[in-house]
Amino acid sequence: MKVRIDGKNVGIEDVFNVARKRYKVEISKELKRKLEEGRKNLLNIISKDKAVYGINTGFGELENIKISKEKIKELQKNLIRSHSCGVGEALDEEIVRAIIFLRLISLAKGYSGVRYEIVEKLAEMLNKNFYPYIPSQGSVGASGDLVPLAHLALAMMGEGLAFFNGKIEKTSDVFKKLGIKKIDFDAKEGIAMINGTQFMAGVACLALHDAENLLKNAEIAGVMSLEALKGTDQAFREEISRLRPYEGQVAVARNLWKLTRGSEIIASHKNCEKVQDAYTLRCMPQVFGAVHEYLEFLKKIVETEINSVTDNPLIFENFALSGGNFHGDALAISLDILNILLTKMGNFSERRIFRLLDAKLSGLPPFLIKEPGINSGMMLLQYVAASLASENKSMAYPASVDNIPTSANQEDYQSMGSIGARKCMQIIKNTRKIIAIEYIVASQALDFFKLKPSPASMKAKKIVRKHVKELKEDRAMYEDIEKIEKTVHSGEIVREVEKIVGRME
C-alpha cells in the first residue's frame, strides 16, 4: 500500500497508515517541479547578498552575525550538530515515522527552499524502514521541535545513531546495510529541517486516531457495566439529547441506544422501583458526548497543522519572510485538551469498575467471586485502575501554561507542547489499561446473570472470554489485563460489535 505525495492535503489516517502500518510513500512528478522552482527562488534571494535570517546569518540571538557565502554549507551542518543534544529514552518507531512523514509533507509545500533531494531522502528513509535514534526530551515546542528534528537531520547526514534489528548502531553503518546514501545540506536546508512542529503533530495524530477507537471501546464497556448493574437504557433516548443538541452527545446517545438493543437483562427490570441510575451510567451520553465533541474539534486543528508550512524563513518568488509558523501553541493547547479528555475517560471507567465490585452497590457477590473471603476476586483490579487514573490526573495539568525563555531572551515565549505530547503517550496507555479492566470486570459480572445481555455486549464478552477465562478462584491477572489492552488497541472488539449494530459514530 502507498500514500502519494503531491503537495495536497493529507489526513490523520494517512499519518497512521505510514507510521503504524508502514505504507510506502510515493512522490509525484509535479511535486519535483514545484520544489525545483522554490529552490530557484531561494538561490535568487541569496545572490542579492542581502542578510536573510538562517540562510546567511546566525540563529536566535546570533541573528545579526552575517555569514559569508563560502561558509553557508558549514553553517547548516553546524546548526544540526549543535542542536542534536536531546536526552531521555528514544522515541518509538511509529512516532519517528510520523515525524519523518510530516516533515516531508511540510517541506513538499515548496515554501522552504529545499532541494527535491531532501524530500526524496525522507521518502527513501520511510520506504526502507530506517529508524533513527531520536531522544524524547529536549524540545520546548516554540521554534518548532528543534532538538528532535535536529536528530533526524543528523541521521540524514550519516551521523548519530539508529536502530537496526532492535539494536542501536552508528547511522553510517545502518545506511550501508539499507543502501541509503547520506546527504550534505546546502543553503537553508539545515534550518528548514529543524523548524517545525512535527514531533508534537506526530504524537497528536496517532493519539487522536487511538482516542477515537478508545472512546468506542469505552462506550461498549460502559454498556456492559450498565447491564450488569441493572441500569436503564431510557437515559439514552434521543429525545433527551435533542434538547441539548451537541452533535457529540446526540451521536453517543445513538451509539448507546444501538448497543443496548435486545438486552434481556434491561427488559427484565423495566418496571422496577429504582427511579434513576448513578451518573456514571445515566450520564454516559453527556460525558462520552463531550469527549466525542472535542475529539472532532481537535481533529480539525491537527489536520490544519499537518498540512501547514512551519518553517522559517519562508521563501516566496522574489523575497523571504521571517515569521513564527513554527510556534507550537495550537498543538500544545490541543494536546493538553486531549490529555484532559483521556484522563476523564479513564476516571469515568474506574468509577464503574468500583461500582461493579462493591456488593452494596451492585447487588452482585463481593468482588465478583463465588467464594469471597478465601478468594479476593477482582478486588485488586480496581486498585490498579485507581492507580492509573490517579497517575493520569497528575499528568493532566496543562503543559502549555508554562514558559521558560531561551536563546538569550530572543525566543522568550515557548509552547512546551512537546511535554504535553510526552505526557499524552503515557496517559493514553494508562486509559487503555483502565478500559481493558472494565471489560474484564463487566464480563465477570455478566457471568452471574442467566438472562442474556444485548447482542453487542454478548459479542464483546465473547471476545474478552477468548483471551481471559472466567475467574473462579484467585489467579495472577496481570497477563489478562495486557491481553485485553492489546485487544482494545487493535480495535477488534469495536469491529466485531459494529458488525451487529452498524457503524458507531
| 407, part of any domain | no
* DSSP β-ladder status, 161-164 and 135-137: unpaired
Q: Which of 501, 424, 498 is nearest to 209 (CA)?
A: 424
What band does 60 get if pLDDT is binned at 50, 70 and 90? Answer: low
Domains: count for the chain: 2
Contact yes or no for 385/432 (Cβ under 8 A): no
Last residue of a domain, one of 142, 177, 196: 196
| 56, part of any domain | yes
| 168, part of any domain | yes
Residues 150 and 290 occupy one common structural domain: no
Residues 46 and 188 occupy one common structural domain: yes
Q: What is the pTM of this model?
A: 0.95
Residues 375 and 265 occupy one common structural domain: yes
Domain hosting residue 86, numbered range: 2-196
Instruction: List beta partners, residue 170.
Output: 161
Residues 227 and 345 occupy one common structural domain: yes
Q: Which of 431, 424, 278 is nearest to 344 (CA)?
A: 431
Q: Each residue of 309-318: pLDDT tens digit?
A: 999 899 998 8
Residues 209 and 185 occupy one common structural domain: no
| 295, part of any domain | yes
Percent of the chain with pLDDT over 70: 98
Q: Each residue of 217-236: pLDDT tens digit?
A: 999 999 999 999 999 999 99
* Per-residue confidence (pLDDT) for residue 289, from 0 to 100: 98
| 326, part of any domain | no
Residues 232 and 375 occupy one common structural domain: yes
Catalytic residue status for 53:
yes
How does the average pLDDT of the chain come out, rounded?
94
- Decide: helix, strand or coil at residue 348: helix
* Per-residue confidence (pLDDT) for residue 272, from 0 to 100: 73
What band does 464 get if pLDDT is binned at 50, 70 and 90? Answer: very high
Last residue of a domain, one of 127, 162, 196: 196
Last residue of a domain, one of 137, 161, 196: 196
Residues 178 and 253 occupy one common structural domain: no
Q: Report the CATH number that the domain containing residue 365 is assigned in CATH.
A: 1.20.200.10
What band does 427 get if pLDDT is binned at 50, 70 and 90? Answer: very high
> What are 39's three cell numbers?
529552490
| 278, part of any domain | yes
Residues 219 and 238 occupy one common structural domain: yes
* DSSP β-ladder status, 2-5 and 24-27: parallel
Residues 146 and 221 occupy one common structural domain: no
Residues 235 and 149 occupy one common structural domain: no
d(CA 453, CA 460): 10
| 367, part of any domain | yes
Residues 139 and 87 occupy one common structural domain: yes
Residues 370 and 430 occupy one common structural domain: yes
* Per-residue confidence (pLDDT) for residue 4, from 0 to 100: 93
Q: Each residue of 342-401: pLDDT tens digit?
A: 999 999 999 999 999 999 999 999 999 999 999 999 999 999 999 999 999 999 999 999
* Per-residue confidence (pLDDT) for residue 61, from 0 to 100: 59
- Decide: helix, strand or coil at residue 113: coil
When pLDDT is averaged across residues 4-21 and rounded to a whole number, the result is 94
User: For residues 390, 396, 401 and 406, what is the CA-based torsion angle, rounded to 10 degrees?
Assistant: 90
* Per-residue confidence (pLDDT) for residue 45, from 0 to 100: 84
Q: Report the CATH number that the domain containing residue 187 is assigned in CATH.
A: 1.10.275.10
Strands (E), 236-327: 314-315, 320-321
When pLDDT is averaged across residues 429-440 and rounded to a whole number, the result is 98
* Per-residue confidence (pLDDT) for residue 59, from 0 to 100: 65
When pLDDT is averaged across residues 171-192 and rounded to a whole number, the result is 95
Lowest mean pLDDT among 38-47, 180-189, 431-440: 38-47
| 95, part of any domain | yes
